[in-house]
Structure 1
Amino acid sequence: METKSPAPEALPRDAVLIVNVHSRRGEALFQNARTLLEEAGMHLIAAHAVKDPDRLQETVRRAVAEGAPMVIVGGGDGSLSGTVDELVGKDCVFGILPLGTANSFARTLGIPLDLEGAVAAIAGGRRRRIDLGMIDRDYFVNAASLGLSPMIGKTVPHRLKRYLGRIGYLLWAVKCSIGFRAFRLVLDNGRGDRRMWSTEVRILNGPYHGGVELSDQADVDTGEIVIQAVVGRSHARLAWDWYAKFFKLRDRDAHTQEFRGRSFRLETVPPQRISIDGEVLAKTPVTVKIAAGAVEVAVP
């Protein structure tokens, strides 16, 4: 007689809503999200519209400490990455409202990018236990990068990012690439190192970065982190790599090398800044590793 697998534990109906209203579209959508969640049968213990991004993590920490069974965070990938540390090892589900520019983490999880669809995933979806990436002691949800991307992320004017979205990033990337130089990458997995020239390195816990699907190997439940390097010293090769991956061309992996594992030591010459889910927060050398099954998230 065939035995059925037990049904996954239901998502909580009680939650705290926390929205970064400084993020793109956040302020306009906060009240709408609150209304939609309540109409979907969610009981909101509290709802916070956070205007200062520096207070977002503190607000999530307080909600978890007070026993919220689910914390719903609305914002971009940076907001999600900056708050997920507070849920690691806690009996609290992470609900996601993708209100940012690229929303790579939501794409990875299959969460709809429209507000109504994201609310439906929270109110009627299921739990999924996922991995997180780590840069030294900092957890991140989706991807980190070094090379041209952090230069763009650190200097892009907020208005350009807010009102033009990915097109704004592209325009600023052209400007930043003029003075950019390739670097030497040293990647050590504990059994030996690999050395190469590179123009960009992506550290992937999921397939998406910047809203573009970059890897067929990375996902949030593999128990491994993926390091993807654009090899060589050519700016044109880096531009072609993004173009080929954006349009999913047959030879889209021609200029990249991928490495999979649980932990790596990553060094560069000269040292490079690291953008973690869109926020420039670290600098090489660093230890990169996976935190397997670190949090539970609400997914469709």
Structure 2
Amino acid sequence: MENRSLPQQAALVVNVHSRRGEALFEEAKQKLEAAGVRLVKAHAVSDPARLPGTVRQVVEEGAPMVIVGGGDGSLSGTVDELVGKECVFGVLPLGTANSFARTLGIPLDLDGAIDVIATGRRRRIDLGMIDRDYFVNAASLGLSPMIGQTVPAKLKRYLGRVGYLVWAVKCSVSFRAFRLTIDDGAQQRRMWSTEVRILNGPYHGGVELSERADVDSGELVIQAVVGRSHARLAWDWYSKFFKLRDRDAHTEEFRGKSFRIETHPRQRISIDGEVVAATPATAKVAPGAIDVAVPR
């Protein structure tokens, strides 16, 4: 499966509500066709709630590859429709952080991403799951869901990752640490925490957070920022962003196939940037769930 070539026919589904989706939809169509990818369907979707249904439709119609353009939330919200199918998942990174594209080594510019879709290869990868909801890259609880749920759209659109940082400072004023319990079926760990990342790949928020997480390892990495200090959480993000030598000083990591996660008080869970779940929850890996287009 790893060395199989990509289909030369595809359906294109773009979230034009994403940061760059509206501006690049027509250009993406033209460049895909010019690169030798014949588009059997092309949908510009303005309502993100319609994305899963649109992807489901083109998969059912027999598209051998579905190219989804948008941010990590768009990819996570549509990937469920490809689980267990022979259809290949193509990625056009048009969002703010584009963590999944970074994980797969896909260039973040339009021309580079299209070149991968036209000349790359298939790679079988794992997905993560929060209860029954699949995700491509990362889920989180703590401060990140508060930021993702409340960040103004214009701030995110025009400032990108810097906008998230500005809003994080504002949200941290009212945020409080929580008691965390992680149970892998063999052992329970209890600690204070300000943020928990559930990683299928190394990136979250466009930042490489763990060198141990990989999309074909057959395991998830749970990374907890320990303690009750806001300053410690801020330093953790800063040190990981700039890849400082002591960047793992304030986190604990747990690796495995399935975890039960409980918190007090209850915490919302962000799945690839979209707040759609809450604790208590089960996080587990879905090994070899989909084929994706990656660089050759």
Return the TM-score normalized by structure 2.
0.99
Distance in 2 separating the partners of 1:215 and 1:9:
29
Counterpart of 1:81 in structure 2 is 76
Counterpart of 2:143 in structure 1 is 148
Question: Any conservation in 1 of the 2:177–2:194 contact (CA below 8 Å)?
Answer: yes
2:166 aligned counterpart, secondary structure: helix
Cα displacement (A) at 1:116: 0.2
1:11 and 2:9 correspond: no
Counterpart of 1:135 in structure 2 is 130
The aligned amino acid for 2:78 is T
Counterpart of 2:197 in structure 1 is 202
Counterpart of 2:114 in structure 1 is 119
Calculate percent identity across the aligned residue pairs: 78
The aligned amino acid for 1:76 is G
Distance in 2 separating the partners of 1:199 and 1:32:
42
Equivalent of 1:110 in 89, 95, 105? 105
The aligned amino acid for 1:257 is E
1:176 and 2:175 correspond: no
Distance in 1 separating the partners of 2:86 and 2:286:
16
Where does the alignment leave 5 or more consecutive residues of structure 1 unmatched?
1-5
1:194 aligned counterpart, secondary structure: strand
Distance in 2 separating the partners of 1:60 and 1:7:
24
Cα displacement (A) at 1:80: 0.2
Counterpart of 1:214 in structure 2 is 209
Counterpart of 2:257 in structure 1 is 262
Return the TM-score normalized by structure 1.
0.97
1:49 and 2:6 correspond: no
Distance in 2 separating the partners of 1:159 and 1:7:
40
Equivalent of 1:163 in 154, 158, 162? 158
Question: Any conservation in 1 of the 2:138–2:198 contact (CA below 8 Å)?
Answer: yes
Equivalent of 1:241 in 231, 236, 244? 236
Distance in 1 separating the partners of 2:153 and 2:53:
23
Cα displacement (A) at 1:188: 0.3
The aligned amino acid for 1:214 is L
Question: Any conservation in 1 of the 2:140–2:195 contact (CA below 8 Å)?
Answer: yes
Distance in 2 separating the partners of 1:26 and 1:43:
20
The aligned amino acid for 1:83 is T
Cα displacement (A) at 1:7: 8.0
Equivalent of 2:278 in 268, 272, 283? 283
Question: Any conservation in 1 of the 2:142–2:196 contact (CA below 8 Å)?
Answer: yes
Counterpart of 2:28 in structure 1 is 33
Distance in 2 separating the partners of 1:218 and 1:171:
27
1:215-248, Cα deviation, whole Å (9 max, x unpaired): 0100100000000000000000000000000000
Cα displacement (A) at 1:10: 1.3
Cα displacement (A) at 1:192: 1.9
Distance in 1 separating the partners of 2:238 and 2:4:
42
Runs of 4+ aligned structure 1 residues displaced above 6 Å come to none
Distance in 2 separating the partners of 1:298 and 1:144:
22
